[in-house]
């Protein structure tokens, strides 16, 4: 099914995946393929959260990506990125000519999130592709499979996986120091440990606590403690959305000794309790 949205500032052609599918099923599900053109003056409203993950490739034109900390990078043809629209941390501004891009919307579910964590453990990718033609072909295969007369959801999903795998293969080597990468990997694998300390992380990275703290501030604009807390809260939010587990069980699984501590920290960060967040954001399984 094809929809066209257009105005003076954009023209977008959406091919919607209408193959039979049960809402909330854990699979790599492509909801939509889009061929988008935006013109000078267009600004994406990224303040609202949406239950999708977007993967896009810039085909022509230029944009500017502005991060919350004020960092700005210019994106041009061949730029590829994956963004979880449930957790927006950046705005997009068109700064020059018409921008043309392909993008797909993936359903957010635990399988897809875990798959992305495995493929891109540091963070979701945003990079200038070395071989954008290969990524472009992956997008077009997804489009062609969605619009085929005998469209099959498993085939569409396989092409989506091929796109993610190609992106993983083209991901540039991390500019982060090896010790910092080791620390981040250790946090990813041990944040569930209630007794995880800065000393544990520094020992795993083979540097002193002060040296590692400086690396976190310099390269991530964060601290070891805040990074651990962020990882725990992201896992808490994922479990609240995608599981029926009691709050106490989620607390234990995410590194909190008591559910009281989880509720206190969660309310401090999100201005609501975990139960309130679950009721507002719950996605069917």
* Domain assignments of the chain as residue spans, ordered by start: 2-170, 178-281
Asked if residue 96 has pLDDT above 80, the reply is: no
The full length of the chain comes to 285
Higher-confidence residue of 164 and 37: namely 164
- The answer to whether the beta carbons of residues 102 and 129 sit under 8 Å apart is no
Domain 2-170 -> CATH class: mainly beta
**CA distances in angstroms from 249 to 219, 230, 275, listed in the order given:** 34, 19, 13
Local confidence band at 97 (pLDDT 50, 70, 90 cut-offs): low
Same fold, 2-170 and 178-281: no
pLDDT at 285: 43
Least confident of 62-66, 130-134, 224-228, 267-271: 62-66
Cβ-based neighbour number of residue 154 at 10 Å: 10
Q: What is the pLDDT of residues 136-145, one digit of tens each?
A: 999 999 999 9
Confidence of residue 102 (pLDDT cuts 50, 70, 90): very high
What is the average per-residue pLDDT within 79-107? 75
Asked if 201 and 208 touch (Cβ cutoff 8 Å), the reply is: no
Strands, sheet with 43-44, edge to edge from the N-terminal-most edge strand: 43-44, 90-94, 63-67, 72-75
- The pLDDT of residue 62 is 79
List of long-range contacts for 267-272, beta carbons under 8 Å, 24+ apart: 269/233
| pLDDT for residue 284 is more than 50 | no
pLDDT at 20 (0 to 100): 80
SS3 11: strand
Both structure tokens of 20: 């039979």
d(CA 114, CA 122) in angstroms, rounded, equals 13
Q: Taking every pair of C-alpha atoms in the chain, what is the biggest distance, in angstroms?
A: 61
101 Cβ contact list (under 8 Å, min separation 6): 35, 36, 56, 57, 58, 59
Residues 10-66 have pLDDT tens digits of: 788 999 998 887 666 678 999 999 999 877 666 665 545 567 899 999 999 877 766
Helix (H) or strand (E) holding 60: strand 52-60
Over the stretch 210-261, which tens digit does the pLDDT of each residue have? 999 999 998 888 999 999 999 999 899 888 988 889 999 999 999 998 999 9
Q: pLDDT confidence of 72, banded at 50, 70, 90? A: low
Res 41: pLDDT = 63
Q: How does strand 63-67 pair with strand 126-128? A: unpaired
Residue 20: other Cβ atoms inside 10 A: 6
Q: Which of 59-63, 179-183, 198-202 has the highest mean pLDDT?
A: 198-202
Closest residue by Cα to residue 187 from 175, 202, 172, 173: 202
Q: What is the pLDDT of residue 176?
A: 83
* For range 59-79, the mean pLDDT: 74
Q: Which of 43-57, 73-87, 188-202 has the highest mean pLDDT?
A: 188-202
The mean pLDDT value for 169-179 works out to 87
Radius of gyration of the chain (CA): 20
Domain boundaries 178-281, corresponding CATH code = 1.10.10.60
Percentage of the chain exceeding pLDDT 70: 86
Q: How far is CA 98 from CA 40, 60, 108, 235, 253, in A?
A: 6, 8, 30, 38, 47
Enter the tokens of residue 75.
Answer: 């994106």
- Check residue 117 and give its pLDDT: 86
Q: State the pLDDT at residue 69.
A: 52
């Amino acid at each position: 099914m094809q929809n066209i949205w257009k105005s003076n500032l954009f023209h977008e052609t959406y091919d919607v995946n209408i193959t039979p599918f049960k809402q909330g099923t854990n699979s790599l599900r492509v909801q939509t393929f889009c061929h988008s053109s935006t013109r000078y003056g267009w600004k994406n409203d990224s303040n609202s959260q949406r239950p999708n993950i977007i993967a896009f490739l810039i085909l022509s034109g230029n944009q500017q990506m502005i991060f919350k900390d004020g960092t700005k990078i210019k994106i041009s043809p061949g730029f590829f990125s994956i963004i979880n629209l449930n957790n927006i941390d950046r705005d997009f501004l068109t700064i020059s000519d018409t921008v043309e891009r392909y993008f797909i919307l993936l359903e957010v579910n635990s399988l897809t999130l875990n798959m992305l964590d495995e493929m891109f453990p540091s963070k979701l990718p945003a990079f200038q592709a070395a071989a954008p033609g290969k990524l472009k072909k992956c997008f077009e295969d997804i489009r062609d499979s969605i619009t085929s007369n005998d469209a099959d959801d498993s085939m569409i999903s396989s092409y989506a996986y091929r796109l993610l795998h190609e992106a993983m293969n083209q991901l540039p080597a991390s500019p982060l120091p090896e010790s910092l990468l080791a620390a981040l990997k250790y946090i990813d694998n041990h944040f569930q440990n209630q007794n995880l300390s800065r000393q544990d992380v520094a020992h795993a990275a083979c540097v002193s606590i002060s040296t590692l703290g400086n690396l976190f501030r310099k390269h991530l604009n964060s601290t070891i403690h805040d990074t651990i807390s962020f990882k725990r809260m992201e896992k808490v939010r994922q479990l609240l959305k995608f599981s029926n587990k009691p709050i106490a069980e989620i607390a234990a699984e995410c590194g909190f000794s008591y559910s009281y501590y989880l509720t206190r920290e969660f309310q401090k960060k999100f201005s609501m309790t975990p139960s309130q967040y679950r009721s507002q954001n719950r996605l069917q399984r």
